[in-house]
Copies of this chain bind each other. A is one copy, B any other.
Amino acid sequence: MRIGILGAGQLAKMMALAGQPLGCQFVFIDPAPDACAASLGEHHVLDWSDQAVLAVLKHCDRVTFDFENVDSSMLKQLAQVTMVRPSILALEASQDRLKEKSLLHQLGLPVAPYAEVSSRPELLAAVEKVGLPAVIKTRRFGYDGKGQSLVRTQEDLEATWQALGGHALIAESLVDFTHECAISAVRDERGQIRIYPLTHTLHKHGILRFALSPSSANAPFVDEAKAIVTQLIESLDYIGCLTVEFFVTHAGLVVNEIAPRVHNSAHWTIEGSACSQFENHIRAIADWPLGDTEGHGVSLMINFIGRMPSKDMLQISGLHWHDYGKVPRAGRKVGHATWQLGSFDELTEKLDDLSDFLADDEVQWLMDLIKQAG
């Protein structure tokens, strides 16, 4: 089984690490010569829309991707010569926030009020429709909080237009949430679905910092989250792993966004479940039986942003290390750790062991998470 991946970042790297024991070989397309998955297979330094990609990947049994801003016209050409998983339909929906919201709305799933914005007058009308505060986002190419602007008052509108006006936009009502969570599911060729536990997530400045599973704060929402991800994954005739991110409000769950790929909020499944999201994505696209998605114990995933901490952190019992091998840079996800414990009580008791290796703001965010979850 030869698998081509568009993108050779950390998600591709973790897919390859999971796929190697299954007997898979990997071919990566990434324009960055130092892309971090490169050493785990054959790396072609090509732009994703380069026509040479076709000649390289047509010899793969399957093609998948590790980020959603793939050129969908290239995927359509690839789908003529090999099997592309998941479907281009799911990818296109997730590439455009307006299409994504429309899809969710059509399925009757809970989303925040939204409106299309393609001109300065439309911005005003949209904000009137969705109310203030609102978040103005580029419809395409946003990630980790990039391409977004918060509008609290009418006075913020001009600055927002100056910053984002050159792009197709969407206005969304700012959701007043108590916390955030995410759920990941995997579906195979025969329509079998396995769902991972609902995960408590904490973002700061638009970047995921911590993920915790399970969280008692999420217990009331598990059935609804499972129903939503099931409806979505079936409606898209989806094959592979998909994640839905939610806001948890006093009125219940609101879908924030969907990711048609393996996702940061489920990295903890490498150690916290029998079959990780990465392995199940490979199993699903390769048409092999899916693995168990139940969680065991308590898993806390900690993202490392900008640089890796000292290796002394490995002395923490039950801590699993994931250095992506990326050059350190402010704001860049360079790695993560998953701390695997027997119970939430054990986590709170041992929290000081972890705090020694985190920055002050990170410790504060972790305390916020523990407070939300407990």
Are A23 and B340 within 8 A (Cβ)?
Answer: no
Are B325 and A311 within 8 A (Cβ)?
Answer: no
Are B314 and A274 within 8 A (Cβ)?
Answer: no
Bound state CA distance, A311 and B291, in angstroms?
12
Given known contacts A20-B40, A25-B39, A40-B20, A318 and B340 CB-to-CB distance under 8 angstroms: no
Minimum Cβ distance to chain B for residue A314 (Å): 4
Are A314 and B40 within 8 A (Cβ)?
Answer: no
Given known contacts A21-B321, A321-B21, A323-B22, A314 and B291 CB-to-CB distance under 8 angstroms: yes
- Contacting A288 at CB < 8 Å: which of B13, B21, B22, B314? B314
Interface residue A283 (Cβ < 8 Å from any Cβ of B) = yes
Are B40 and A274 within 8 A (Cβ)?
Answer: no
Among A313-369, those with CB < 8 Å from B are 314-315, 317-318, 320-323, 325, 335, 340
- Contacting A20 at CB < 8 Å: which of B13, B21, B288? B13
Closest to A325 in B: B23
Interface residue A147 (Cβ < 8 Å from any Cβ of B) = no
Among A142-197, those with CB < 8 Å from B are none
Q: Give the A interface residue count (CB, 8 A).
A: 32
Bound state CA distance, A314 and B312, in angstroms?
37
Bound state CA distance, A141 and B194, in angstroms?
48
Interface residue A292 (Cβ < 8 Å from any Cβ of B) = yes
Are B23 and A20 within 8 A (Cβ)?
Answer: no
Among A15-37, those with CB < 8 Å from B are 17, 20-23, 25-26
Are A20 and B22 within 8 A (Cβ)?
Answer: no
Are A315 and B289 within 8 A (Cβ)?
Answer: yes
- Contacting A23 at CB < 8 Å: which of B40, B292, B315, B323? B323
- Contacting A311 at CB < 8 Å: which of B289, B323, B335? B289
Find chain B residues with CB under 8 A from A314 CB.
283, 288-289, 291
Interface residue A308 (Cβ < 8 Å from any Cβ of B) = yes
A20-B40, A20-B325 provided; 8 other pairs, C-beta below 8 A?
A22-B321, A22-B323, A23-B323, A25-B39, A25-B325, A39-B41, A283-B314, A289-B315
Q: Which 4 A-B pairs have the closest CB atoms?
A: A23-B323, A289-B315, A289-B314, A21-B322
